[in-house]
Amino acid sequence: ELLSALTPGDDGPVAQAIAATAMIQLGLSPVILVHFGFGGDNHKDSDLSEEELETLPGIAAIGTLWEQLSAAGLEDRATFVTFDVFGRTLVRNAAGGRDHQANHHVMAMFGPRVRPGVVGGVHAVGSGNRPFSARGIDAATGAADDDGDVAVEDGLTAAAATLAAAVGLDQARISTRIAGGTIVTGALA
């Protein structure tokens, strides 16, 4: 029934959300990838209009996916994650855009094993183009903690390990696959 709502040739975000929901309903795959624009390369995006053109529809697409999953009764059978390997500076560069920021990244996630909320945080570390950095994380609570057991430089592996736990992998498999990845149990339900 869901697939009848699709228009042939439409591969936009709403169509992807509908198709992903149908594939989950049918049990076609344990992993389904969708591509929602979410702010691309914006080194020279002086007014951040390109970022806005991708990010706002990307957020709307995530909302559509959640609505589709909920309407189909699948919200407890699917975990969603959007992840980027690097963040962006919060301060604009000389061209007006934003550069890569190795000490800042974001992962949004929802699903049956994910606790709602924010994990970690940022703090001021200096001046110039990169005056902010992610903070360490207390894995038990998910709170920002500069003395936490997840150091800033270990944030990506902790994110991967936490995602693996959120989709049901056991500790032994996670430890084998993700070297040094601390599971942030404070992010899990």
pLDDT band with cut points at 50, 70 and 90 for residue 38: confident
User: Global pTM?
Assistant: 0.83
Same structural domain, 41 and 69: yes
**Structural domain boundaries enclosing 28:** 1-78
Same structural domain, 7 and 56: yes
Residue 38 or 63, more confident: 63
Asked whether the beta carbons of 38 and 54 are under 8 A apart, the reply is yes
Same structural domain, 21 and 90: no
Distance from C-alpha of 38 to C-alpha of 57, rounded to nearest angstrom: 8
Number of domains in the chain: 2
Residue 130 has pLDDT above 80, yes or no: no
Nearest of 159, 163, 59, 64 to residue 104 by alpha carbon: 159
What is the reported pLDDT for 187? 97
What is the reported pLDDT for 86? 66
What is the reported pLDDT for 129? 65
Output the CA torsion sign for 51, 54, 57, 59.
negative
Asked whether the beta carbons of 118 and 108 are under 8 A apart, the reply is no
Burial annotation 147-170 (CB, 10 A radius, 16+ → b, else e): ebebebebbbebbbbbbbbbbebe
Residue 39 has pLDDT above 60, yes or no: yes
Task: State pLDDT tens for residues 106-123.
Answer: 888 999 999 999 999 988
Same structural domain, 91 and 181: yes
What's the whole-number mean pLDDT along residues 53-61? 85
Q: Domain ends where: 78, 110, 141?
A: 78
What is the reported pLDDT for 84? 66
Task: State pLDDT tens for residues 9-23.
Answer: 888 888 898 899 999
Residue 143 has pLDDT above 70, yes or no: yes
Residue 85 has pLDDT above 60, yes or no: no
Bridge partners (DSSP) listed for residue 109? 81
pLDDT band with cut points at 50, 70 and 90 for residue 73: very high
